[in-house]
């Protein structure tokens, strides 16, 4: 069935380092793709999304590009901050399925 695969965590970076968190999807067709972030003790919040191939979602310095040819939606940020420490979830939604599929989450820890 459809699934979303994320890189294993935890990812530990120093402040101002470059971040990449890989995500690939297997849904056929053109699912909508999302990155959600979960800060400690909180629910999930939408970080960014892309709804069609070659779209780039961006928010708070994070970016991800919907790549149909590689079925990927990797999350990047040029310079991470301590406040970016959280768990990041990649997710897909395929119209007509009535559900969003989440990846396993990648924990990011940014050290000062």
Contact positions vs another protein (CB under 8 A)? 32, 34, 36, 42-46, 49, 51, 87, 89, 93, 95-105
Q: Least distance from C-beta 100 to another protein, angstroms?
A: 6
Of residues 15 and 54, the one with the C-beta less far from another protein: 54
Give the residue with the Cβ less far from another protein, 70 or 99.
99
CA distances from 55 to 30, 32, 36, 40, 58 (A): 12, 10, 17, 29, 10
Smaller CB separation from another protein, 32 or 58: 32
Contact call for residues 23 and 31 (beta carbons, < 8 A): no
Q: How far is CA 91 from CA 15, 25, 39, 60, 72, in A?
A: 26, 8, 17, 18, 11
User: Considering the complex, what minimum distance in angstroms separates the CB of residue 108 from another protein?
Assistant: 13
């Amino acid at each position: 069935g459809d699934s979303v695969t994320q890189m294993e965590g935890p990812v530990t970076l120093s402040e101002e380092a470059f971040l990449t968190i890989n995500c690939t999807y297997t849904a056929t067709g053109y699912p909508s793709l999302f990155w959600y972030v979960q800060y400690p003790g909180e629910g999930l919040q939408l970080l960014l999304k892309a709804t069609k191939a070659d779209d780039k979602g961006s928010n708070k310095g994070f970016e991800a590009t919907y790549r149909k040819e590689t079925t990927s939606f990797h999350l990047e940020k040029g310079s991470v901050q301590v406040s970016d420490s959280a768990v990041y979830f990649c997710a897909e939604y395929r119209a007509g399925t009535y559900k969003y599929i989440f990846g396993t989450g990648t924990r990011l820890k940014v050290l000062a």
